[in-house]
């Protein structure tokens, strides 16, 4: 089996959600990667600020990225929403709330879709390029054996479909493109801390970032559109 081609050197890497636990670790990892001329991050506290619920801010961040100069070779979406602002994962259908569902979809599906709308056009049409968005194993419909967490599961499943759809379009523009969703493992963070590991092994953010990069470096263009965990194993939709 032929090893996938490496990303061309001298390009730009972008991390969106760079203020989060995993996003911070990914940006640190990429800034130490000699393949990239520069690695930049965007979040609500950066300049320019990027807010997933504000398309104008996403467009401005994409414009600022383009203005940096180097070709964009890698875009990592490390955003995600599970709880906060009075929203908690639903344990039963009795807890379903339209506003909470809308919030989950805005941050886990619509926002990342708008990231693709504005950042995918920045990727060159020749040579290897990668776009990856952090999903969650909870978004797998096939592996949903216990229920609960309606909004989180459904919005992450929607994200998987959006990325799969974009992968098809991106592949028609660049046959070497890889566009995937990734499960980063159970990383101790503000997102996951209140819920424990559920018996799953835990990773620190640095280890997760390193493993995710190993996975991305090992994916071929034929695997674009897939959903993979931090070990490189394919997760069923």
The DSSP line for the chain is -PPPPPPPTTEEEEEESTTSHHHHHHHHHHHT-TTEEEEEEE-TTSSS---TT-HHHHHHHHHHHHHT-SPEEEEEE----SSBTTB---SSGGG--HHHHHHHHIIIIIHHHHHHHHHGGGS-SSS-EEEEEE--GGG-STT--S---HHHHHHHHHHHHHHHHHHHHHHHH-TTEEEEEEE--EE-STTTGGG--TTPPEE-HHHHHHHHHHHHHH--GGGTT-EEETTSPBPP-
Q: Is residue 200 predicted with pLDDT exceeding 90?
A: no
Q: Is residue 197 predicted with pLDDT exceeding 60?
A: no
Whether domain 11-229 has CATH 3.40.50.1820: the reply is no
Given this model, what pLDDT does residue 3 score? Answer: 60
CA angle centred on 203, ends 26 and 28, rounded to 5° = 20
Rounded Cα distance, 230 and 212, in Å: 5
Rounded Cα distance, 8 and 95, in Å: 49
* Average pLDDT of the residues in 154-177: 98
Rounded Cα distance, 210 and 193, in Å: 21
* Average pLDDT of the residues in 184-212: 78
Given this model, what pLDDT does residue 1 score? Answer: 42
- Tell me the percentage of the chain whose pLDDT exceeds 90: 89
Q: Which positions ≥6 away from 169 have C-beta within 8 Å? A: none
Rounded Cα distance, 137 and 117, in Å: 24
Given this model, what pLDDT does residue 188 score? Answer: 79
Q: Which residue has 């640095």 as its token pair?
A: 206
Q: Is residue 187 predicted with pLDDT exceeding 70?
A: yes
* Average pLDDT of the residues in 172-180: 98
pTM value is 0.93
**pLDDT tens figures, 109-144:** 999 999 999 999 999 999 999 999 999 999 999 999
Q: Is residue 194 predicted with pLDDT exceeding 60?
A: no
Rounded Cα distance, 195 and 104, in Å: 17
Q: Is residue 233 a contact partner of residue 218, using CB atoms and an 8 Å limit?
A: no
Q: How confident is the model at residue 7 (pLDDT cuts 50, 70, 90)?
A: very high
**pLDDT tens figures, 143-157:** 999 999 999 999 999
Average pLDDT of every residue of the chain: 94
Six-digit token string for 145: 């054996």
């Amino acid at each position: 089996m032929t090893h996938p081609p490496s990303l061309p050197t001298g390009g730009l890497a972008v991390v969106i959600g760079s203020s989060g636990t995993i996003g911070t670790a990914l940006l640190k990892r990429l800034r130490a990667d000699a393949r990239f001329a520069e690695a930049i991050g965007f979040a609500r506290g950066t300049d320019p600020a990027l807010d997933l619920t504000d398309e104008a801010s996403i467009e401005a961040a994409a414009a600022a990225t383009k203005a940096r100069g180097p070709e964009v070779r890698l875009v990592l979406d490390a955003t995600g929403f599970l709880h906060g602002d009075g929203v908690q994962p639903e344990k039963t259908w009795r807890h379903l709330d339209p506003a909470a569902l809308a919030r989950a979809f805005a941050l886990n599906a619509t926002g990342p879709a708008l990231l693709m709308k504005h950042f995918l056009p920045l990727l060159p049409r020749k040579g290897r390029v990668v776009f990856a968005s952090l999903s969650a194993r909870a978004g797998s419909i096939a592996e949903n054996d216990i229920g609960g967490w309606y909004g989180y599961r459904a919005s992450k499943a929607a994200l998987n479909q959006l990325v799969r759809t974009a992968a098809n379009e991106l592949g028609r523009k660049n046959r070497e493109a890889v566009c995937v969703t990734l499960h980063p493992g159970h990383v101790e963070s503000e997102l996951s801390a209140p819920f424990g590991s559920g018996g799953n092994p835990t990773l620190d953010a640095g280890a997760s970032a390193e493993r995710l990069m190993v996975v991305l470096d090992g994916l071929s263009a034929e695997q674009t559109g897939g959903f993979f965990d931090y070990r490189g194993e394919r997760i069923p939709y």
